[in-house]
Structure 1
Amino acid sequence: MRNEVIPVGRPSVLRHANALNILKLLREAESCSRADLVRASGLSAPTVTNVVKDLIAEDLIAPLGEGESRGGRPPDMMRFKAERGCLLAVDIAVGSLRFLLTDLNGKLLEMQEVSLRGVETTPDAICELIGEITRQLLKRRKKTRKHLLVVVAGVPAITNVAEGVVLSISPFDGWRSVPLGAMLGKVFGCTVAVQNDTNLAALGERFCGGAKDTEDFVLISVEKGVGAGIVINGRIHYGSQWSAGEIGYLRLPHLSRRRTTLYEFGELEEMLCSAGIVKSWQEEGGKPSTAKSKKTLTAADVLDMALEGEPRAMKIVQDRAGMLADVILNLSLILNPRQVLLSGTVGCHPALLSAVKTQMEGSEFAVPELGIGTLGETAVRWGGISAALDVLPSVLLRAPGNS
């Protein structure tokens, strides 16, 4: 635990710091005794006893009975009471709402996806629908809204995390400078955080995916849009105006040097995203549907054809791989991350991944490990749970003066 300066004459602050320390140890251990906490914390036995007493009063500790004796009186074992409440992550995606409900240790309780087809998508309507689906999830677990302690929402937009404001979601109705954090706070009456979805996906991959416990890496998502989540020293790098990682707006040397705007795709995004790949296929004279099923052709279909050796599809893949390899190299020269993960149906496709690796061969330095995200469409939600777990101690144990 990071050492903090405790103001002299503020015993309440000292007690709070000790409680946070003990709570952290309890959350990390499946079970432990008071003696274990004394050894791990470096605090005195009377201090630990008093803290444990306070945590029991807050219903944060569950007794487990006597443990194994090591020659003396058997110790009284205890554990963190993770079932005391719930955490919720919501991925507000274009076309659906995706939910993940966990206990206070991040253990999966419920997962659900709800289509937005034919549904009103104004901010008020989305918040109302999120509230209704959440009530259903809680009811299935025989819990109520009072058990919900932290909600984290991910959105496909630049987001002011400090204020919980979404700057813009172009495909939705009326999403311009939306105070989503405050709106969801009124719905749930608990701590709410709002983040960019790609940033949350990066946190998710670090929490339980392809970048587990990696301190410095970049997640690049290539699907309907293009964006990056930048993790430095284990934390998301947001930038001074919350737009770090908006690589879809990177300028391409051979295209026009247009200015960045909130309400349009960037140059790189238009070329790399799934719609851009399909457009290029059609410009190359390709058919708008697949030969076998006559269904509307997708970017994945074009990439599949590249794997099969179709010349036009292979040319498209090589062009996109060159762009993506340049982006990865430029990011690596600036940030020097240990790892770069690709995600999304386009980014994770074997045809593109193989071509990018080939184009990066020969570089002698600033070459990161290149891999793919392992969590798929659940990455944003698991990132939300990771973010919720980070703020949970301050929710369970309010600082003096903030009760």
Structure 2
Amino acid sequence: MRLPHEHLISQNLSAPLMRSINGIGLLNLIREHGPVSRASLAKLSNLSKPTVSSQVETLMQRGWVVELGRGESGSKGGKKPTMLTFNANAGRLFAVEIAAWHVRLAAADLEGNILARLALSIGNDRRAANVISLAKYGLEQLMSGHPCSADQRVISVAAPGRVDVVRGIVLQAGNVFNWQNVAIREELEAAFGTTVFVDNDVRMAALGEVQFGAARGEQDVVLVKLETGLGAAVINRGQLMLGSHWAAGEVAHMLLDHKNTSTDWSVRGYLESIVGADRILAAAQDAGSTAQTALEFLHTARNKTGPERDLFDYIATHLGIAIANLIVVNDPAMVVLQSALLGALEQELRAAVERLVPWETRIEISTIGDEAVLLGTIVAARRQAYEHIARLFENGGQQSTEFGMPVLTER
């Protein structure tokens, strides 16, 4: 990574924004090239030595960068340079994934390396108060094993349903949870006195896939996730699409049959009512299948005839059309199928896309599977920490009271 020369930046950007860009750029260079000297940073960044020294001092005051000692002298001899390295232990990232049957948690360092994990069963009580209480308990356990001050940590939460990212509120989570206006961010910030970021679980999965999985390095991606619920996430030019109602990717409500337009699908969308795991299993049993799970049905029905095969084709056709619609609307470089259920239909879904979309689009099965949401939640937490560092530079290095804040601002 090379930053533009500072005099070119200063022509177009304000001084605070210029400091922010340079500071984050230097931090990334230290992470990528460390241990590295200040002189080497000046060469790598095309910034002046005084600018590098000033920015590094701010990073060191915060603890994100530390000095390791003296390095080797250059070819011409002279004083040995002081080497700098990124301090991944300057804070902690705590990730919470709320799924249908469990709450999964992880503690990570600032590089995103997982230090500890915890999984807690939700049981049959999915009321918001119970699930949040469970998350608090899990966070307390992880924080006791990985202590740091409140201003040195970030909590990131992957929640079901439609999530207002700015306020950290689950506006609506149908089928399994039946939540409305659940203020997760407010609850956890009050409990732990630290910054909390909340987003939809499918969007978190997309972050995980782009950082660690099948879509690593891609800028234009659609991820489709199917379990009991159905959802999608869209990444366009490297940015997660949120929507004006926080509903970008709510493919569960896609209507594919004009004969059903008079039905109220507001609670559980048309498409999810057909392809959700519980609905697949119920329909399979009505068709005479002895399968005990939706996945078992999909694996066996392809080789059947009669009602079971008809149901298999019905499900595959609906999902194939939905994915094709997502492609023609968003034009991604890749579609990631993020569940075993979709993997069982890979052959049929590829065929549908080839038939319905007039250009080639890659379709890949997730390479990180069930880990995608939790890993993406850690990525989101790390982004919040970086946002804080950016604001430090914009404020001229003045300490703020919070480690991180939501990327978005009130609209």
Both proteins in one fold, TM over 0.5: yes
1:85 alignment partner in structure 2: 91
Per-residue deviation at 1:131?
2.2
Q: Is the 8 A contact 1:154 1:196 kept in 2?
A: yes
Q: Is the 8 A contact 1:273 1:346 kept in 2?
A: no
Pick from 27, 32, 35: which aligns with 2:31? Answer: 27
2:191 alignment partner in structure 1: 187
1:357 alignment partner in structure 2: 350
Q: Is the 8 A contact 1:333 1:366 kept in 2?
A: no
Pick from 156, 163, 166: which aligns with 2:167? Answer: 163
Q: Is the 8 A contact 2:59 2:65 kept in 1?
A: yes
2:254 is the counterpart of 1:250 = yes
1:337 alignment partner in structure 2: 332
Pick from 117, 123, 128: which aligns with 2:128? Answer: 123
2:396 is the counterpart of 1:393 = no
Per-residue deviation at 1:80?
1.0
Q: Which amino acid aligns with 2:330?
A: L
1:238 alignment partner in structure 2: 242
Q: Which amino acid aligns with 2:270?
A: E
2:114 is the counterpart of 1:108 = yes
Superimposed CA distance per residue, residues 261-289 of structure 1 (whole angstroms, 9 cap, x where no aligned partner):
55x211110111111211221221223xx
2:144 alignment partner in structure 1: 139
Greater displacement, 317-326 / 357-366:
357-366
Question: What secondary structure is seen at the aligned counterpart in 2 of 1:341?
Answer: strand
1:272 alignment partner in structure 2: 275
Q: Distance in 1 between matches of 2:74 and 2:340?
A: 55
2:330 is the counterpart of 1:327 = no
Per-residue deviation at 1:321?
1.5
Superimposed CA distance per residue, residues 325-373 of structure 1 (whole angstroms, 9 cap, x where no aligned partner):
1112111111111111111231122xx1112123333456233101111
Q: Distance in 2 between matches of 1:78 and 1:282?
A: 63
Aligned length, in residue pairs: 386
Q: 1:77 to 1:314 in 2, by over 3 A?
A: farther
Pick from 31, 48, 52: which aligns with 2:56? Answer: 52
1:310 alignment partner in structure 2: 304
Q: Distance in 2 between matches of 1:402 and 1:163?
A: 24
Q: Distance in 1 between matches of 2:32 and 2:318?
A: 43
Q: Is the 8 A contact 1:153 1:194 kept in 2?
A: yes
1:370 alignment partner in structure 2: 363
2:404 alignment partner in structure 1: none
Q: Distance in 1 between matches of 2:207 and 2:257?
A: 32
Q: Is the 8 A contact 2:328 2:357 kept in 1?
A: no
Q: Which amino acid aligns with 2:324?
A: L
Q: Is the 8 A contact 1:123 1:174 kept in 2?
A: no
Q: 1:69 to 1:230 in 2, by over 3 A?
A: same
Q: Distance in 2 between matches of 1:313 and 1:89?
A: 41
Runs of 5+ consecutive residues of structure 1 not aligned to the other structure: 291-296
Per-residue deviation at 1:211?
0.6
Q: Is the 8 A contact 2:354 2:360 kept in 1?
A: no
Per-residue deviation at 1:140?
2.7
Per-residue deviation at 1:13?
6.3
**TM-score of the two chains, using structure 1 as the length reference:** 0.88
Q: Distance in 2 between matches of 1:29 and 1:368?
A: 35
Q: Which amino acid aligns with 1:56?
A: M
**TM-score of the two chains, using structure 2 as the length reference:** 0.86
Per-residue deviation at 1:136?
1.3
2:177 is the counterpart of 1:176 = no
Q: Is the 8 A contact 1:86 1:147 kept in 2?
A: no
2:212 is the counterpart of 1:208 = yes
Greater displacement, 339-348 / 356-365:
356-365
Question: What secondary structure is seen at the aligned counterpart in 2 of 1:51?
Answer: helix
Report the aligned-residue RMSD. 2.5
Superimposed CA distance per residue, residues 11-49 of structure 1 (whole angstroms, 9 cap, x where no aligned partner):
x66555543332232233343211221012222112212
Q: Distance in 2 between matches of 1:40 and 1:162?
A: 36
Question: What's the % identity of the aligned pairs?
Answer: 29
